[in-house]
Amino acid sequence: MSTRHWRMVSMFVILIVAGIACSFIGSNPSQKEVVAAAVQTLSLQQTINSLSQSVLITPSPSPSPELPSDTPSPTTEPTQTPTATIVHMMQPADPPTTSNSITDLSSKAYALERRSIGDNFTKNLYERPFTSQVMDYQPYLDIVKSSMAYAAPWYYASLFVEGEIPADSNTTYAVELDTDLDGRGDFYVRVQAPLSSTWSTERVQVYRDTNNDVGGNLPITAENNNPQWNGYDELMFDSGVGADPDLAWARQNPTNPQQIQLAFKSSLLGVGEFVWGTWSDEGVQQPAWLDYNDHFTLAQAGHPSTNSTDYPLKEMASLDNTCRWAFGFTPLKMIPGLCAIPVTPTPVVRPTKTACEPPPNGCPVFGSFASHWNPKTCQCEIPPTQCQPPPNGCPVTARYVWDPVKCKCVLK
Ligand SMILES: [Ca+2]
Ligand SMILES: [Ca+2]
Ligand SMILES: [Ca+2]
Ligand SMILES: [Ca+2]
């Protein structure tokens, strides 16, 4: 019943009650009449109450089905912590081709021998794509080449490895960047497998060294461990969480599963000239411990050469890295960690000029005979086919001299 109908019914009831009341006015009712009127009024009140309930009762929601008494009450869903959705504004594209690359040793040829060559623990250059103790070869860790390219606003670092990444691997692939060219890494950008074939920020992390102690007192060179050194100590980007959610990305090259690509914005470095090198790491994975040869002793780390008394690999296993190379400039002096600077070809030394040169105006002409410069004898000579003085010279009986014009000995 609508509110309008309810108002009409109420008015009708009130008029009836008023009429009954008025029937007593001006009369002198008996007790019986008073009781009858009271009963009639009560009946009307009940009618009003009934109508009132039928109007005011609001529909209640459908009752929940009764649960059997032995049914455990539903458990309360755990309260989910609301997570902010990461909104990306831009992402990398295909990296441009580049000639800025680093070649690294392949250990594939030594896999069956469970050893590698070229590992230089003392100088932070490792070739350890083997498991600890057992020395099983891990081709997906074996870097053979790395490259760096730039297409605004992205730097692209690529790692080429000897084998595809196993599905259950949690290897980290990283690029280490020295932006003030002192041999200490300043930024460490890494991604942890499994990798997507499309660009993603998942499991991509960017570390920074805030107090310039990566590498201890002597960057690159092995030293005794100092617990005060904290290496890369600030995680400034983690799977899209950071001041810039688009700062760094990674993917597996969709056309080459043995190529891992990292992309990061140039704004990260703030410079256009830097030194870079790459890492694969399934064994240690501790950016705070870099340089690793300051954290581990050689005896702890082990060594992959069977000639070493520290063979086999121990605590520093299942990783590989490259030497570093310059991007944006030509290195003219050695920076710790830099790959060997190619020997500059010695300039071709032009033969120095000697006093033996033809006359500035050329060799003289004697009449119809032109002399020619002979560099062997270092003098102007008349070709043998032309007029020649006597083989033994002019006669000495008088003061004869050779006259090339007359082509005979003449008196002087
Ligand atoms: Ca390698
Ligand atoms: Ca540095
Ligand atoms: Ca050091
Ligand atoms: Ca540090």
Q: b/e for 79-104, b at 16 or more Cβ within 10 A?
A: eeeeeeeeeeeeebeebeeeeeebeb
The single-letter code of the amino acid at 371 is S
**Per-residue pLDDT for 9 more than 80?**
no
Tokens of 15: 């008029």
Residue 56's pLDDT is 33
Ligand nearest to C-alpha 183: 2
User: Which ligand ends up closest to the CA of 208?
Assistant: 4
Residue 189 has pLDDT above 50, yes or no: yes
Which tops the pLDDT comparison, 7 or 182?
182
The confidence score (pLDDT) of residue 213 equals 98
At which residue do the structure tokens 């942890």 appear?
192
Contact 248, 137 (CB under 8 A): no
- Of the listed ligands, the closest to the CA of 109 is 1
pLDDT score at 354: 55
Predicted pLDDT of residue 364 = 76
- Angle of the 3-24 helix axis to the 31-56 helix axis, nearest 10: 170
DSSP state of 324: B
**Beta strands 154-161 and 172-178: pairing type?**
unpaired
pLDDT number for residue 409: 81
pLDDT, residue 367, reads: 64
Decide if 92 contacts 258 (C-beta within 8 A).
no
Cα separation of 144 and 162, whole Å? 7
Q: What is the DSSP letter of 137?
A: B
Rg (CA), the chain: 49
Q: Which residue has the higher pLDDT, 343 or 193?
A: 193
Kindly give the distance from the C-alpha atom of residue 329 to the centroid of ligand 4, in angstroms, as a whole number: 26
Q: Compute the distance from residue 99 Cα to the ligand 1 centre, in Å.
A: 19
Determine contact, residues 126/119, Cβ cutoff 8 Å.
Answer: yes
When comparing pLDDT for 79 and 218, which is higher? 218
Measured distance CA(325)–CA(113) in Å, rounded: 30
382 contacts 405 by C-beta, under 8 angstroms:
no
Would strands 204-208 and 234-238 be described as parallel, antiparallel, or unpaired?
Answer: antiparallel
pLDDT digits 0-9 by tens, 361-407: 787 776 666 778 888 778 877 766 556 777 777 777 778 887 776 77
216-226 confidence digits (pLDDT tens): 999 999 999 99
Tell me: the pLDDT tens digits for 225-281? 999 999 999 999 999 999 999 999 999 999 999 999 999 999 999 999 999 999 999
Q: What angle do CA 240, 238, 259 make, to 5 degrees?
A: 85
- The DSSP call for residue 67 is P
- Ligand closest to CA 214: 4
Q: What is the mean pLDDT of the chain?
A: 82
Q: Considering every ligand atom shown, identify the ligand nearest to the alpha carbon of residue 215 and give its number.
A: 3
Distance 228 CA to ligand 4 centre (A): 9
User: What confidence category does residue 410 fall into, taking pLDDT thresholds of 50, 70 and 90?
Assistant: confident
| pLDDT (0 to 100) of residue 23 | 39
Q: What is the pLDDT of residue 79?
A: 57
- Residues 298 and 121 sit within 8 Å (Cβ to Cβ): yes
> In the numeric block, which tokens belong to residue 251?
């993917």
Expressed in angstroms and rounded, the spacing between residue 220 Cα and the centre of ligand 4 is: 15
Give 166 or 98, the one with higher predicted confidence: 166
Distance between the two ends of the chain, CA-based, in angstroms?
158
Q: What is the pLDDT of residues 170-181, one digit of tens each?
A: 999 999 999 999
Residue type, 131: T
Q: How far apart are CA 241 and CA 248, in angstroms?
A: 10
Distance CA 274, CA 264 (A): 14
Q: Give 361 or 305, the one with higher predicted confidence.
A: 305
Q: Give the pLDDT of residue 356.
A: 75
Mean pLDDT of 48-76: 38
Percent of the chain with pLDDT over 70: 74
Place of tokens 């006597």: 390
Whether the pLDDT of residue 130 is over 50: the answer is: yes
CA of 203 to the centre of ligand 2 (A): 25
Neighbouring residues of 220: CB distance < 8 A, sequence distance ≥ 6:
123, 124, 183, 291, 336, 337
How many angstroms separate the alpha carbon of residue 178 from the centre of ligand 4?
Answer: 13
- 296 CA to middle of ligand 4, Å? 17
**Torsion angle in degrees (nearest 10) through CA of 62, 68, 74, 75:** 160
The whole-angstrom separation of Cα 356 and Cα 400 is 29
Question: How many angstroms separate the alpha carbon of residue 393 from the centre of ligand 2?
Answer: 81
**pLDDT tens figures, 81-128:** 666 789 999 999 999 998 899 999 999 999 999 999 999 999 999 999
N residues, the chain: 412
Ligand nearest to the CA of residue 159, numbered in listed order:
1
Provide the pLDDT for residue 347.
Answer: 61
What is the predicted pLDDT for the residue at 294?
98
Relative to the alpha carbon of 107, which ligand is closest?
1
Contacts of 64 (CB under 8 A, 6+ apart): none
Q: Is the peptide bond before 291 cis (omega within 30 degrees of 0)?
A: yes
What's the CA-to-centroid distance between 294 and ligand 4, angstroms? 13
Task: Give pLDDT, residue 312.
Answer: 98
Total-model pTM? 0.66
12: pLDDT strictly greater than 50? no
Interval between CA 208 and ligand 1 midpoint (Å): 25
Q: How far is the CA of 180 from the centre of ligand 2 (A)?
A: 5
Q: How far is the CA of 225 from the centre of ligand 3 (A)?
A: 9
What is the model's pLDDT at position 220? 98
Residue 257 confidence (pLDDT):
97
Count of CB atoms situated within 10 Å of the CB of 186: 23
Going from the Cα of 232 to the center of ligand 4, the distance in angstroms, rounded, reads 5
How many angstroms separate the alpha carbon of residue 149 from the centre of ligand 3? 29
Q: Residue 226: which residues within 8 A CB-CB, separation 6 or more?
A: 216, 294
For residue 200, pLDDT over 50 is answered with: yes
Strands (E), 114-254: 127-128, 143-151, 154-161, 172-178, 187-192, 204-208, 234-238, 241-242, 248-252
Ligand found nearest the CA of 211: 4
Cα of 217 vs centre of ligand 2, distance in Å, is 12
Q: pLDDT: is 56 or 201 the higher one?
A: 201
Please determine, for residue 292, whether its predicted confidence score (pLDDT) is greater than 60: yes
- How remote is the CA of residue 208 from the centroid of ligand 4, in Å? 8
Q: What distance in angstroms lies between residue 211's CA and the mean position of ligand 3's atoms?
A: 15
